Amino acid sequence: MVTSLAEFVQKVRPDTTVLFFGAGSSTPSKAPTVRQIVEHLSAKFSIPETDLSLAEMAGYIENKTKDRRALINQVKSLFAKCRPTGGLLNLPLYPWKSIYTTNYDTLIEASYAKKEFDLTVYKSNFDFSSSPRGMATKLYKLHGSIDEDTSSGDNSRIILTSSDYKNSSEYRQYLFNALRYDIAESNLIIIGYSLSDPEIREIVSQCTTLNAQSLSAGRIALFMYERDEFRASLHEANGLEVVFAGIDDFFSEMARKPPGPLFSPKESEN
């Protein structure tokens, strides 16, 4: 049975909660969807639209043009107008145990910078060699960050093509090791995925496996912005909680609990 948002939020303790964000958490802040990125690349590189995935489309372009920087710059251009709004602006208010994301954007970083809250960001395996600042919240970016790529001389790599996944396997292992430790005796909330999204199946599978390997397993909840009772029942049969809500719904409900909202509704619109 799908859990109501109000009922779920009453049980949320941020200090023992790990957040995992997908694309649906960034689209309210004008970040492009995966489909929009594919369509943009198809148009810019004169490739007939097919059912290619983003990794397949980007890999084809990189192999065809031999120009990764041009590919990355086209992807970057779609994120130029991204600004954190709504629920993301309230994210720094709470002492989350840690945050994970598959998004390329820097909306979470911008939210923390806006309120001058410390945030330690892990974008490549090189970042694991440095110590976090004090009590800073940790953000792990599984697919890298739109502001850094090897094509521009950075250590970090935007994980865009199938080759990127292979070249970043060691880094991804570091990330999932961190997630395994983080979800021990903690709860995991996955926000911003469609139940029909193929990637959610991989992420849920990884998370449930890591959760099972933990000595003290917590609960895993999926926040889904598209209502899908059939797929929800399949996830619930595997021991997951499902809540039909988006990121703005979640933080609006969280704001009803002390200490209340960090930003006024008017400020959140800017």
Q: For the segment 76-87, what is each residue's pLDDT rounded down to a tens digit?
A: 999 999 999 988
What is the distance between the alpha carbons of residues 170 and 85, in angstroms, rounded to a whole number? 34
Interacting residues of 82 by C-beta distance below 8 A, sequence separation 6+ = 26, 29, 30, 31, 105, 106, 107
Share of the chain above pLDDT 90, in %: 46
Share of the chain above pLDDT 70, in %: 87
Q: For the segment 168-214, what is each residue's pLDDT rounded down to a tens digit?
A: 777 777 777 887 788 777 888 999 876 555 566 677 777 777 666 66
Interacting residues of 80 by C-beta distance below 8 A, sequence separation 6+ = none
Q: For the segment 102-155, what is each residue's pLDDT rounded down to a tens digit?
A: 899 999 999 999 989 999 999 877 777 666 666 789 999 988 999 999 999 988
Q: From residue 70, how far is each of 65, 149, 214, 254 by CA, in Å?
A: 9, 12, 43, 42
Instruction: Assess whether pLDDT exceeds 70 at residue 267.
Output: no
**Alpha-helical segments (H) within the chain:** 5-9, 34-44, 54-65, 68-77, 87-90, 107-114, 162-167, 169-182, 198-213, 229-237, 247-254, 265-269
Order of strands across the sheet with 98-101? Answer: 119-122, 137-141, 98-101, 17-21, 187-193, 220-224, 241-244
